Structure 1
Amino acid sequence: MIQQEFANKAKKILQQDDNVIGVAVSGSWLTNEIDEFSDLDLIIVTHQRISDHKSKMLDYAKRLGNFLSGFTGEHVGEPRLLICLYDNPLLHVDLKFVTLEEFHLRIETPTILFDRNGLLEKAINDSQAEFPYPDYQWIEDRFWTWIHYALLKIGRGEYFEAYDFMGFLRMVVLGPLLHIKNGNLPRGVRKIESQIEREDLEKLKHTLPAYSKQSLLDSLRNAVALYRQLRVVLFDDTVILHKNTEKK
């Protein structure tokens, strides 16, 4: 696969840099799910911090292949990430630049490609991967006000706003909760088509609106119904439900 070829080439190049402690790979590589549509997620661990300087991140990126363009990942909450596009072959590669101390903090355990002095392996053995799970109370505190917001947009005829809101609701609330119900990590709606039960997927499909007032209202009602069902299955007694807000 082109991802593996790129990773092996990058490893050989980065091994020659004394500032690089090691290189690891994460993402779909870990579950053997790489296909022609997959990107490549590389973690570059360095002695000196690279992520404070975009120019240094770009310098590293340009060494690794036929670099087309790249930008930092503030929009996904990760400024240490450089999102890159390479050519020959055309490939999306995410380069995450961390120090050894930062490498201890991770949401999954990556596969090590290169480990100069065994420090990456030691860091993995001395730490625990912790994937962030949604706070159910945080969701409940916001959900009904979000629904009211969507109704205002529909009422005013701002259908594009309402349409986009439905995508937000699936990404932040419905997708993660459905994944948890089905025993998966709560990765938004990633691979949800293949990782949840058919009945659950059909319910989620019913939150997809067409561009019309009635369809938006129907989709919103379906989203509310699905949230109520998931709340019963997943929430415990420590979550305070806003019943009066829900009623209004």
Structure 2
Amino acid sequence: MKYPSTLPHQHQQLLEQILAQFSQDARLVGIAAGGSYASNHMDQFSDLDLIIAIDPEHYAAVMAQRFQLIEKIPGCVSAFTGEHVGEPRLVIALYAPHAIHVDFKFVSLSDAAQRVDDAKILWQRDEQLTKMYDMQAPCYPQPNAQWIEDRFWIWLHYGATKIGRGEYFEAMEFLSFLRTTVLSPLALRQHNLTPSGVRTIEMRLPQFAEQLKATIAVPEPRSLLQAFEQTVALYQTLRQQESVQRHAEAEQLALSYLAQIKATVQSNPYA
């Protein structure tokens, strides 16, 4: 097998152990790798993102035994399922001695064609995974500018209420949400790049990443207000490149509310 040129040797060793073990299970019909493996952009910090395709007749049984399969690979020190990222089919594992993170996404063969990137097939039975991939091209979820505009100004109001109430850490977390859900996906999509939140934004859009720095705050009201104002300015600039029906009344109301919070803060010498 020809591996990506950027695949670290330690990752390759672990991957070969996984392939050797999993290929012995007759219920599994294919294994593919996505993420930085598929794009040949791996380094020592990369995960292994694996898709494990299962014979539909044995899907329930394999899902019930996922951890036993994963723990057969030497070096597994811990593993858990991926509900926190909305993917219960996923098992995330850590392997010693080199602390390599592996994502195992178990899917029924009938669902394998639905994928977000051009995953590379590592092993399969009777070309079954190839046939599924030929049926449908990969498609990464794209930001919906209208969906964002329908929500942004209510989100802004929500963030402002947190500053007004003194819930500064909550407001900081919400700024992170807006960077990941709104600003970065729109900017990346507008530059014909995969809109994967803030991931590698520093390398892919360095000038925009510099602008994002102004949306980072410390848990103090003045800092938070400046960060929210910069968030608004960036969103309004990005929105100019999108075809959306603007919610002008909601925008004005939310901006006025933010200005009221700012005036209150500025009038408080201890803020």
Unaligned runs of 5+ in 2: 1-7, 254-271
Q: 1:94 — aligned with what?
A: 103
Matched to 1:33, the amino acid is H
Distance 1:49 1:152, change over 3 A: farther
Deviations 1:102-160 (A, max 9, x none): 10111112111111111111111121111111111111111001111111110111100
- Which residue of 2 is the match for residue 191 of structure 1? 200
Contact residue 27 and residue 58 of structure 2 kept, 8 A: no
What is the match of residue 94 of structure 2?
Answer: 85
2:250 aligned residue (222, 245, 248): 245
Structure 1: 5+ residue runs without aligned partners? Answer: none
Alignment of 1:1-248 (within 5 A): 1=8, 2-47=10-55, 48-50=57-59, 55-198=64-207, 200-233=208-241, 235-236=242-243, 239-248=244-253
Seq. identity, %: 40
User: Deviation of residue 244 (structure 1)?
Assistant: 0.7
Q: Find the aligned partners of 1:38 and 1:51 in 2 and give their Cα distance.
A: 30
SS in 1 for 2:141: coil
Deviation for aligned residue 1:53: 6.8
Letter in 2 for 1:246: E
Residue 179 of structure 2 aligns with an amino acid whose one-letter code is R
Shift of 1:65: 2.4
Alignment check: 8 A CA contact 2:81 2:90 kept: yes
CA RMSD of aligned residues (A): 1.4
TM-score by length of 2: 0.86
Name the SS for the 1:44 alignment partner.
Answer: strand
1:54-108 per-position Cα deviation (integer Å, ceiling 9, x unaligned)? 6411011111221111111111111110011111222110001111101011111
TM-score of the pair, normalised by structure 1: 0.94
